[in-house]
Amino acid sequence: MGIGYARRSGLVLVVVAAVLGIGCQKPPNTSSGVIVEFQIEPKPVTVGLVVVSLTLTDTASHPVTGAQIAVEADMLHAGMSPVFAQSKEVGPGQYQSQLSLGMAGDWVILLHGSLPHGEKLERQFDVRDVRPN
């Protein structure tokens, strides 16, 4: 094992450390203090119109009001266009939206929004086994 091996090993360690360091950084202005509870109706979830209900609370269990939340639904396989909706606040910390899921299979629901004090809200929920009608 010569100097070349030691340099390559050192370079690998530097690259691994850089990747781990980037992966462990907390994104700026995140909503880590907000708890999001997610529900989707009907159960079991079927193709067609569904209601996405969200409950937002802070770490002290107080409702988070005044959030602006966009909901995006994507199939896990490529080729299907995403579906979008805007959530409406229906009560303190309670938000709802309606989406039309156009195909049976596995979906992912993405939340994109902002909280009253300017924090960003990003969450993801899997919806498995959406059934045909």
pLDDT at 6 over 90: no
Query: Residue 52: which of 125, 129, 131 has the closest Cα?
Result: 125
pLDDT bin (cut points 50, 70, 90) of residue 79 is confident
- Tokens describing residue 57: 């609370």
- Verify cis geometry, omega within 30 degrees of 0, for the bond prior to 82: no
pLDDT bin (cut points 50, 70, 90) of residue 14 is very low
Helix (H) or strand (E) holding 64: none
Q: Check: CB of residue 70 under 8 Å from CB of residue 83.
A: no
Surface-to-core class of residue 130, CB atoms within 10 Å of its CB (0-12 exposed, 13-18 middle, 19+ buried): buried
What are 82-127's pLDDT values in tens digits? 999 999 999 999 999 999 999 999 999 999 999 998 999 999 999 9
Domains belonging to the chain, first-starting first, are 34-130 (2.60.40.10)
* pLDDT for res 31: 55
pLDDT at 13 over 80: no
What are 42-54's pLDDT values in tens digits? 999 999 999 999 9
pLDDT bin (cut points 50, 70, 90) of residue 24 is very low
Question: Which residues lie closer than 8 Å to 58 by C-beta, 6 or more apart?
Answer: 33, 34, 35, 64
